[in-house]
């Protein structure tokens, strides 16, 4: 699943993952992150999600990472925000509006240890095939501070019934990716009813599972 896959999907309008409202599970479980004003939250593979705005409204410094530049620009224009370009390096162009920063570039090139207090992951880990998920988990583990909390929303379904993305990521895989560095708690497991017609057509056959992880 290389960058060309996603650029083509965006160009062809295959963006059913995008929601025009804040994600319900974020609102429902946000308090469990124990977020304090001024903390830095990472939103990997952020697309143009409105969740970035909601998180800023919770007094957080929000840091999205998205590879497709037009999606980053669309986030700001569709929400009537005028960003400034803060920096440009060979790997990332950083756009900023108030406390929302979006680094346009490849998530796997994110530098630095223990930069973020919190992570919010919806449709991000599940956007990647299994062969890439270990590297993804390693980046998350590296950039999150000790005791940092991570709200993770995944889908669980029979992968032979549908091609990803989104891919099915089962509970045992969450443990094998993260249990060395995190304590892990399953918060919620419900049919994925409001995640677009392709997924809701699977009815009870697809679950949306929410996990809270805390770095040891």
Q: Which residues bind ligand SAM (CB under 6 A)?
A: 6, 17-18, 45-47, 49, 65-68, 71, 106-108, 122-124, 127, 165
Q: CA-CA distance, 47 to 34, in Å (whole number)? A: 25
Hey, what are 196's tokens? 């677009």
Task: Give me the phi and psi of 136, to 5 degrees please.
Answer: -60, -45
Residue nearest to ligand SAM (CB): 47
User: What would the two tokens of residue 76 be?
Assistant: 């700001």
Q: Which is nearer to ligand SAM, 45 or 174 (CB)?
A: 45
> Which residue, 127 or 140, is less far from ligand SAM as judged by CB?
127
Nearer to ligand SAM, 66 or 117 (CB): 66
Least spacing, CB of residue 88 vs ligand SAM, in Å: 16
Q: How far is the CB of 216 from ligand SAM (least distance, A)?
A: 26
Distance in Å, CB of 17 to ligand SAM, minimum: 4
Strands 92-97 and 100-105 come out as: antiparallel
Q: Are 125 and 152 in contact (CB under 8 A)?
A: yes
Rounded to the nearest 10 degrees, what angle do helices 130-143 and 171-178 cross at? 50
CB of 19 to ligand SAM, least distance (A): 7
Of 123 and 169, CB closest to ligand SAM: 123
Give the Cβ contact number of residue 181 at 10 Å. Answer: 18
């Amino acid at each position: 699943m290389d960058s060309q896959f996603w650029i083509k999907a965006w160009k062809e309008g295959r963006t059913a993952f995008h929601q025009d409202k804040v994600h319900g599970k974020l609102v429902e479980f946000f308090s469990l992150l124990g977020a304090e004003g001024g903390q830095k939250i990472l939103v990997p593979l952020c697309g143009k999600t409105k969740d970035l705005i909601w998180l800023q409204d919770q007094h957080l410094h929000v840091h999205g990472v998205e590879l497709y530049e037009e999606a980053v620009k669309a986030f700001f224009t569709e929400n009537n925000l005028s960003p400034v370009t803060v920096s440009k390096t060979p790997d990332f162009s950083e756009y900023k509006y108030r406390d929302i920063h979006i680094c346009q570039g490849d998530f796997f090139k994110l530098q630095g240890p223990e930069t973020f207090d919190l992570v919010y992951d919806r449709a991000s880990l599940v956007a990647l095939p299994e062969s890439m998920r270990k590297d993804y988990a390693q980046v998350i583990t590296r950039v999150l501070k000790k005791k940092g909390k991570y709200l993770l929303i995944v889908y669980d379904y029979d992968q032979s019934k549908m091609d990803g993305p989104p891919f099915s990521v089962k509970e045992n895989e969450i443990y094998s990716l993260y249990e060395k560095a995190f304590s892990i708690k399953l918060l919620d497991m419900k049919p994925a009813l409001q995640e677009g017609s392709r997924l809701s057509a699977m009815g009870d056959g697809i679950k949306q599972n929410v996990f809270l992880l805390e770095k040891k």
